[in-house]
Structure 1
Amino acid sequence: MEAASEAGIYARESTYLERFVQLGIASGRVLSVSFPEHAEADAANDHPLLDRIFEYLEGVTEVDFEDVQIALTVPTDQRAVLEAVRSIPYGEQVSVTALARMTPELDPEDDDDLILVRTALDENPTPLLIPDHRVRDGPSAAPPAVEQKLRSLEGL
């Protein structure tokens, strides 16, 4: 699925999260996902990806975002970590060490590689779409209250 053909900022208020879900999109790819208390003034609220996110937040079905195109503007080593996070299935969680093991060329016994994993999670530009809340002992780029609600939604 193409994320969008129109570039822009899209936002919609979530009663479940008690804040907005905001997307930044350019060239058919998602650049960012954030959870502000107030949406950008020029944000539109109608976007097919927002519809899917809200289906997920309503718990109607296990919504998968693996087909969403994301423009990862992070260093290559962080990109590899975040791509590994995308493969963690709905309702499952892994540790930072297991995520390092899942990421090509990282050694789960190397402290620097574990720091890299934590840094990539912390700087994830698209939390929820790259489900860093599924890494139980790592940071999330989403605010703590949002991370907890996402974990609760998936039974983690």
Structure 2
Amino acid sequence: MEDVTDAGIYARESPYLERYVQLGVASGRALSVSFPEVPDEEAETAESHPILDRIFEYLDGLEEVDFDDVQVALTVPTDQRAVLEQVRTIPYGEQTDVSTLAATTPDLDPEDDDDIILVRTALDGNPAPLLIPDHRVRDGPSAAPPQIEQKLRSIEEL
């Protein structure tokens, strides 16, 4: 991945999403992705930013785009980080469910209610939806607004 060292908040309007895509970056890593109706006052309108460019290629839906090489700085508890790292392995155009996600995440048991709650909590608190594609977990919460989650699923024909 191209070096992305400029720290800051970047935003670009998406006609497809009918919202902005806002990206927080520090030390070459993505900190957050959000979809506000109006970007934060601190956000720089970015006509060109390597990660936003890739996100907009994805939103165009003309070709399969993945974000495997984008470094995401996860500042969440370790057990939630393990869940979100597992979500990143779900391939473009495929989906899973919460139980299977728990079964494939190290040290979690899909039969344990607390582990299922942990998976749901991690998905709901995902700081970088799309880069961490929680929209591919069909029966779990997404950190993206519901209308955005549906549009992301539509792109991948999920």
1:2–1:101 Cα change, 3 Å:
farther
Q: 2:7 & 2:101 partners in 1: Cα distance?
A: 32
Task: State the match for 1:100 in structure 2.
Answer: 102
User: Per the alignment, in what secondary structure is the counterpart of residue 153 of structure 2?
Assistant: helix
Q: 2:85 & 2:38 partners in 1: Cα distance?
A: 29
> 2:155 matched to 1:122?
no
* Counterpart code for 1:98: T
Residue 71 of structure 1, CA deviation:
0.4
- Per-residue CA shift, 1:86-131, capped at 9, x if unaligned? 0000000000000001100000110100000000000000000000
Q: Give 5+ residue unaligned stretches, structure 1.
A: none
User: Per the alignment, in what secondary structure is the counterpart of residue 67 of structure 1?
Assistant: coil
Report 1:15-54 matches (<5 A).
15-44=15-44, 45=46, 46-54=48-56
Q: 1:61 & 1:3 partners in 2: Cα distance?
A: 23
Q: 1:14 & 1:5 partners in 2: Cα distance?
A: 24
User: Per the alignment, in what secondary structure is the counterpart of residue 148 of structure 1?
Assistant: helix
Residues 86 and 130, structure 1, Cα contact 8 Å, conserved in 2: yes
* Counterpart code for 1:14: S
Q: Give 5+ residue unaligned stretches, structure 2.
A: none
Residues 2 and 69, structure 1, Cα contact 8 Å, conserved in 2: no
> 2:155 matched to 1:150?
no
Residues 2 and 50, structure 2, Cα contact 8 Å, conserved in 1: no
Structure 2-normalised TM-score?
A: 0.96
Q: 2:146 & 2:7 partners in 1: Cα distance?
A: 29
Residue 42 of structure 1, CA deviation:
3.4
* Counterpart code for 1:49: I
Residues 3 and 69, structure 1, Cα contact 8 Å, conserved in 2: no
Residues 23 and 31, structure 1, Cα contact 8 Å, conserved in 2: yes
Task: State the match for 1:4 in structure 2.
Answer: 4
Residue 3 of structure 1, CA deviation:
5.8
- Per-residue CA shift, 1:23-57, capped at 9, x if unaligned? 00001111100000011233221211111000000
User: Per the alignment, in what secondary structure is the counterpart of residue 5 of structure 2?
Assistant: coil
> 2:91 matched to 1:89?
yes
Aligned CA RMSD, in angstroms, stands at 0.9
User: Per the alignment, in what secondary structure is the counterpart of residue 10 of structure 1?
Assistant: strand
Residue 2 of structure 1, CA deviation:
4.6
User: Per the alignment, in what secondary structure is the counterpart of residue 91 of structure 2?
Assistant: coil
